[in-house]
Structure 1
Amino acid sequence: MSRSQRKQEDPDLGVLSSRTLFSLQRELFTKLGEQGHPDLRPRHGAVLAYLDVAGSRATDLATQSGQHKQVIGTLVDELVALGYVERQPDPADRRAKLIVPTEKGLDHMAKSDAILAEMEAEHAKAVGEEAYAEFKRVFRLVAARQAGS
């Protein structure tokens, strides 16, 4: 059996994770497009998925998303141009800027959360509530362990 066939029949954690991520992103961004946010792309998730409603520093977004600060800066520039976020002075440190969602950004965040909750509910229904809850528990443990290595 070739390596490729083995990967197809018994995919490793990296393959499973990437298949899950890319499929989830495709469905999420298709639905977001249908609900009024057609200009967003999966790369914008590095900012929007971690953005706090009250605002976040770019350095925090970089740390949480695992992206370089320069990448986050570029994505923030794109999201500012698209009207999803704005830069504001950080009240805790006037030298720093907060990335704050606009009304359009807040709408996206609410719709994204609702779509993802619906997707998770569908998975739980398909595999069973208990099995899905256990999957998420174990996946969180694996993700935390991987992040710590």
Structure 2
Amino acid sequence: MGTRTDRTTAEPDLGVLAGRLLFAVQREMFTTFAEKGFPDLHPRHGAVLAYLDKDGVRATDLSKLSGVHKQVIGTVVDELERLGYVERHPDPADRRAKLICPTERGLDQMRVADTFVATLERRHARRMGTEAYAQFKTMFNEVVEHQRRRVEE
């Protein structure tokens, strides 16, 4: 049967594959961010940056979307605020709530991220074939959503 390392190397399970994909994408993405003038960003910031909207988003929504605990989101928002990527503004729909809004630097970073992701997706679609890549994404999304629902039960 071999060791766990042997099994993970020969036939990685879903968790290992998802982790490898995440870490590989993060390495490339954050290297690109550094090259494009955002060297102070790190993968932990992704829980906010991946879901940030130009019109702002509530921290509670960032927590739900990312699956990261609210306190962690608050800490990441605090850090991104100190770094100049986001600001907190009153939510016009509920003055008690705050919206996390990108600054100009945050908007610049969002444009770089959007370009990076589009390039990454095109690269994989070319390599796998457009239809196969679209099917892969559909199926991968189904697995992710099924797993998320299961955890929420």
TM-score (norm. length: structure 2): 0.95
Quote the offset at 1:116 in angstroms: 0.9
**Structure 2 gap ranges (5+):** none
**Aligned ranges 1:1-149 → 2 under 5 Å:** 1-149=2-150
CA–CA distance in 2 between the matches of 1:65 and 1:44?
11
Letter in 2 for 1:41: H
How much identity, in percent, do the aligned residues show?
Answer: 60
Could you tell me how far 1:45 is from its partner in structure 2? 0.6
Take 2:129 and 2:149, find their aligned partners in 1: how far apart are those partners? 30
- Report the Cα distance in structure 2 between the residues aligned to 1:24 and 1:75, rounded to whole angstroms: 20
SS in 2 for 1:142: helix
Deviation at 1:120, TM superposition (A): 1.1
State the aligned residue count: 149
Which amino acid is the alignment partner of residue 105 of structure 1? G
In the alignment, residue 70 of structure 1 is paired with which amino acid? Answer: Q
Determine helix, strand or coil for the equivalent of 1:94.
Answer: strand
Instruction: Return the alpha-carbon distance in structure 2 between the equivalents of residues 14 and 107 of structure 1.
Output: 33
Question: Could you tell me how far 1:68 is from its partner in structure 2?
Answer: 0.9
How many angstroms does 1:96 deviate by?
0.8
Give how far 1:2 is off: 2.1
Note the C-alpha offset of 1:19.
Answer: 0.1
| SS class of match (2:136) | helix
* CA positional deviation for 1:79: 0.4
* CA drift at 1:7: 1.0
3-state DSSP of counterpart to 1:19: helix
CA distance in 2, matches of 1:132, 1:36: 31
CA shift for structure 1 position 128: 1.5
Q: Secondary structure at the match of 1:54?
A: coil
Matched to 2:52, the amino acid is L
